[in-house]
Chain A
Amino acid sequence: DTGVSQDPRHKITKRGQNVTFRCDPISEHNRLYWYRQTLGQGPEFLTYFQNEAQLEKSRLLSDRFSAERPKGSFSTLEIQRTEQGDSAMYLCASSLEQVYNEQFFGPGTRLTVL
């Protein structure tokens, strides 16, 4: 399968714990995005990388959230001191740098904070 992959697919954690999610983009894609989707809502943008550079961050990305993309390949999203409000689906997408810049989405990681 050459699509965007995310790991884990599901994560259950207790409030206050740290969690880390991984995203592997389509191999030739140099752009990578993170979104958060809560129940009944559309995805909300969190952050965007071009290669290894983090070029755009949403105000939703509080200081408890950090994202990295070392070497411009896979990316990790870490949430520290999780809160119940962090429960959501975390979506990763990737794209090529081109005019239309179609974003291809992964299956998401569903986080439940107890």
Chain B
Amino acid sequence: AQTVTQSQPEMSVQEAETVTLSCTYDTSESDYYLFWYKQPPSRQMILVIRQEAYKQQNATENRFSVNFQKAAKSFSLKISDSQLGDAAMYFCAYRSAPGGSEKLVFGKGTKLTVNP
């Protein structure tokens, strides 16, 4: 079974600064997808960024980028130029490639605080 570990229960960053959230995972599969989801307080979860395991290039979405290290099974999220609206719970998630399980396996989350 796949597992996802987020070792930082809470992180804080100053507005306009950069922060990196850590995620490691365990799997015996060679092809899979990794995701970062954002869950603002009392609001629904939204997808921030995704990475296909077969792609060596790290995904980037505006101020959000990942550092994907397949051999190390590491998938960190970097948020640049942090904004007050980035404050939320961030969840790292794993999903098997098509043909495997459709479920998302989530970590326990990291609560990000952005200080003005």
A residues with a Cβ closer than 8 A to B are 3-4, 31, 33, 35, 40-45, 48, 55-56, 58, 91, 99-108
Contact = CB atoms under 8 A, between A and B. Distances in A.
Main secondary structure of the interface of A (DSSP, over half): loop
A4 B45 CA distance: 11
B11 interface: no
Nearest to B91: A42
B113 to A, nearest CB: 16
Interface of B: 4, 6, 33, 37, 43-47, 50, 91, 93, 95, 98, 101-109
Given A99-B98, A101-B98, A45 B103 contact: yes
Nearest to A49: B102
A35 B102 CA distance: 12
A43 B106 CA distance: 6
Contacts of A56: 101-103
A102 B102 contact: no
A105 B45 contact: yes
A107 B40 CA distance: 11
Nearest to A3: B44
Contact of A42 (B95, B103, B106): B106
Contacts of A105: 37, 44-46
A48 B103 contact: yes
Contacts of A100: 33, 50
Given A100-B33, A100-B50, A101-B98, A45 B44 contact: no
Nearest to A99: B98
30 contacts: A3-B44, A31-B102, A33-B103, A35-B104, A40-B108, A40-B109, A42-B6, A42-B108, A43-B45, A43-B106, A44-B106, A45-B103, A45-B104, A45-B105, A48-B103, A56-B102, A58-B103, A91-B45, A100-B33, A100-B50, A101-B102, A102-B50, A103-B47, A103-B104, A105-B37, A105-B45, A105-B46, A107-B43, A107-B44, A108-B44
